[in-house]
Structure 1
C-alpha cells in the first residue's frame, strides 16, 4: 500500500468468503477472526481502516477493535461500501479490498482503487507468522 491511501475499506464478506475454512458455519466467528487479523496489522496501515460487515457477521462483538471503524450494513454490504467510499472528498485516496467485480466497477467509477482479498490475507498471515 502506498502513502497516498488515506482510507482502506474492507469488504468483510468477500474477504472471509475467499478462504474455504468453514466460515459459513459461524459467520460472526469468521468476522471476529478477520477483525483480529486486521487489528494486528493496524500499525502497518497508516490510514483509516473501515471494515464493512453484513448479514450474520454483524453479530460479532467488535468492542475490542477500537483501532478499526466497523460498519454494520443496514442493507446491502456493497451499497454500504460504496457509501463509505463516497464519504471521502478525494476518492483516489481510498483502497477497497474486494474481489466482487460489480463492487469494483462501482467504487472505481467513484475514483477509488481496488485490490483483491489475497493482498490483505497475505499481510494478515505474515503478521501472524513473522
Structure 2
C-alpha cells in the first residue's frame, strides 16, 4: 500500500513568518524544492497550490512530488486529492493547520498533521 501526503501549501508556507507574503511564488518554489530533497515519509507528495502561489510551480509531477493547481479554493482540491488516493487504497496524510479542512479530511479516513510535522522532515524551506 502506498503512502500519500497531501500538502496544503498555502497553510504550510504561511505557518512561518519569513516574509512569504512579499512573494508567494518564490515561497512556493522554496517549499517545492524542499519537498524534493526532504525526508518526508510518503511514496507520493501532492502539493496543492491556490491563488498567487500557482506561479511558483507548474502543475505536473517532478520525481515523487506532484503539483496540483486548485482552480479556486484549495481546500476543495485538497479533499478531492485525499479522497482519490484513499480510493486507490493508499494511506493518506493531509498536512494543514486549517481546523475545518482537517476535520473534513479526517472524516475521509486521512491522518491529519500540522505544518510543523512536515517542516520537521524538511532540510529547509
Q: Normalising by structure 2, what TM-score? A: 0.88
Q: Provide the aligned C-alpha RMSD in A.
A: 2.2
Q: Counterparts of 1:25-44 in structure 2 under 5 Å? A: 25-41=22-38
Structure 1: 5+ residue stretches without partners: none
1:122 and 2:100 are equivalent in the alignment:
no
> Aligned pair in 2 of structure 1 residues 46, 108: CA closer, same or farther (>3 Å)?
closer
Q: CA deviation at 1:104?
A: 0.2
Alignment: residue pair count: 122
Q: CA deviation at 1:45?
A: 3.3
> Aligned pair in 2 of structure 1 residues 19, 39: CA closer, same or farther (>3 Å)?
same
Aligned equivalent of 2:14: 17
Which structure has greater helix proportion? 1
- After TM superposition, which residue ranges in structure 1, 4 or more long, deviate above 2 angstroms? none
Structure 2: 5+ residue stretches without partners: none
Q: Counterparts of 1:7-86 in structure 2 under 5 Å? A: 7-41=4-38, 45-62=41-58, 66-67=62-63, 68-86=65-83
Q: CA deviation at 1:46?
A: 4.0
Q: Normalising by structure 1, what TM-score? A: 0.85
Name the SS for the 2:38 alignment partner. helix
